[in-house]
Amino acid sequence: MISMDDKSVTANGRSYALPRQPVVVLCIDGCEPEYLNQAISAGCMPYVAELRQRGLCLTADCVVPSFTNPNNLSIVTGVPPSVHGICGNYFWDRDAGAEVMMNDPKYLRTGTLLAALADGGAKVAVVTAKDKLRALLGHGLSGICFSAEKAADAQLATHGIDDVPRRVGMEVPSVYSAGLSEFVFAAGVRLMRSERPDIMYLSTTDYVQHKAAPGTDAANDFYAMMDGYLHALDAEGAVIVLTADHGMNAKTDAFGRPNIVYLQDLLDRTHGAGTTRVILPITDPYVVHHGALGSFATVYLSGPVDVMAASRSIAAVAGIDAVLGREEACVRFELPPDRVGDLVVISERLSVIGTSRDRHDLSGLDAPLRSHGGVSEQQVPIIANRPGRALPVGRRWRNFDAFDLALNYL
Ligand SMILES: [Zn+2]
């Protein structure tokens, strides 16, 4: 999987030049391009605005399902889920007859390029907002890796660093706050000044993006905060590439009421209870801000339901964008077939998919529902603070080309 010479490292079939100056790749969770457009127009991002003259801006496609973990893992491995195996937060283990959470590194089918670069001699640091990603991002990595959420628990032996809140100069924020992402940026700047890693990966949380639309005060405040930290990283001489794990859209009608297709209820009515199982791979232990509702679902057929009949009944429902069989879905979206159901269902831009009405607690939603997961959230920005050289013409950029861009083209 991994080979190296003194100038480059090959990981998962792709070659990366070893960095000559510090490289920072940031994954801004839920960063629909419009957040940046609006914040720049409002004068909230003077540093990023300046990159129009001396940097680079591309539009890239993320991995579908446009969820956090599949995309973060794609960015740090440089390959899609068909190779690394992480295609959501959950899959249905048919043999075990149980929903299995995929945030354990044992589900990762390949090494990360972060680990490869560290093995090639680079000093690597990783900071993630939520702890659910830490073990996956840090798998096999000799270097620094901790989450903002559990920053106080970081130990030298296990995380490559300790005493993090004091070093960063911030209290550990609530997991449901803009502060959790700010801690990631602040830690990144502090690490750049104190440790000067060759490679740093910073991954935030989409708490703000789930609540606040582009151009709102809360969104612009977040991006203004981010702009300051990006400027500070630039001032330290870092090559910066910023991208996103996925976009974000309002999933409501014009009154702000959520458009929800309760897919399990629908299938139970049409084909009988117990014949199908709907899995929502967005489901995770932190559901308050989206009620476990996203635009991607996978359906396992267990009874005498035929695939065509189930597809037809789902496709006929308002709000559904596409219903694909496993094979077609896995080819189109580069997913691992053994972790995908018989059907993949994607909803339209303004709609989300639920299981059964009684399984979603919407009481925690204190703002009109915004979410992601579908093809409608696939386009994300890639911004760099260098203009790039010899960029391939007409290339379809993916967010998981971020390290390729940073190391091979800037
Ligand atoms: Zn995300």
pLDDT of 283 above 80: no
Q: Separation of 45 CA from ligand 1 center, angstroms?
A: 22
Cα 233 to ligand 1 centroid, rounded to whole Å: 23
Distance, CA 312 to ligand 1 centroid (Å)? 30
Give the percent of the chain with pLDDT over 90: 85
pLDDT in the model for residue 172? 94
Give per-residue pLDDT as tens, 148-191: 999 999 999 999 999 999 999 999 998 888 999 999 999 999 99
- Structure confidence at residue 213 as a pLDDT band (50, 70, 90): very high
Q: In the predicted model, what is the mean pLDDT of residues 197-206?
A: 97
- Give 50 Cα–ligand 1 centroid separation in angstroms: 27
The string of pLDDT tens digits covering residues 48-66 is 999 999 999 999 999 999 9
* Rounded Cα–Cα distance for residues 55 and 395 (Å): 18
The pLDDT of 30-48, averaged and rounded, is 98
Q: What is the 159 CA–ligand 1 centroid distance (Å)?
A: 23
When pLDDT is cut at 50, 70 and 90, the band that residue 97 belongs to is confident
Residues 387-408 have a mean pLDDT of 96
Q: Ligand 1: distance of its center to the CA of 373 in Å?
A: 9
> What is the CA(247)–ligand 1 centre distance, in A?
8
Instruction: Return the pLDDT at 1.
Output: 45
Written as one letter, the residue type at 301 is L
Measured in Å, residue 46 CA sits from the centre of ligand 1 at: 25
CA dihedral of residues 222, 225, 228, 230 (deg, nearest 10): -50
Ranges of H-type helices in 236-339: 263-271, 307-315, 326-333
Q: How far does the centroid of ligand 1 lie from the alpha carbon of residue 268, in Å? A: 30
Q: Which has more pLDDT, 299 or 284?
A: 299
Is the pLDDT score of 258 beyond 80?
yes
* CB-CB contact of 238 with 383 (8 Å): no
Judge whether residue 286 has pLDDT over 70: no
Secondary structure E strands in 148-280? 199-203, 239-243, 249-250, 260-262, 276-279
Q: How far is the CA of 248 from the centre of ligand 1 (A)?
A: 9
pLDDT at position 306 is 84
Q: Which two tokens stand for residue 334?
A: 């580069």
**C-alpha span between 92 and 109 (Å, rounded):** 17
Kindly tell me if the per-residue pLDDT of 3 is higher than 80: no
What pLDDT, on a 0 to 100 scale, did the predictor assign at position 6?
72
Q: Which one, of 122, 165, 164, lies nearest residue 141 by Cα?
A: 122
Q: Return d(Cα 249, Cα 80) in angstroms, integer.
A: 23
Q: What is the mean pLDDT of residues 242-259?
A: 96
- Write the DSSP symbol of residue 229: H
Instruction: Specify whether the CB–CB gap between 381 and 56 falls below 8 A.
Output: no
Q: What is the pLDDT of residues 319-332, one digit of tens each?
A: 999 999 999 999 99
**CA-closest candidate to residue 231, choices 44, 38, 8:** 44
Mean pLDDT across the stretch 1-21?
Answer: 84
Environment of ion ligand 1 (residues, CB < 5 A):
29, 68, 206, 245
CA of 173 to the centre of ligand 1 (A): 18
Q: What would the mean pLDDT of 244-261 be, rounded to a whole number?
A: 96
Quote the percentage of the chain above a pLDDT of 70: 97
- Spacing, Cα 272 to ligand 1 middle (Å): 34
pLDDT band at residue 367, thresholds of 50, 70 and 90?
A: confident
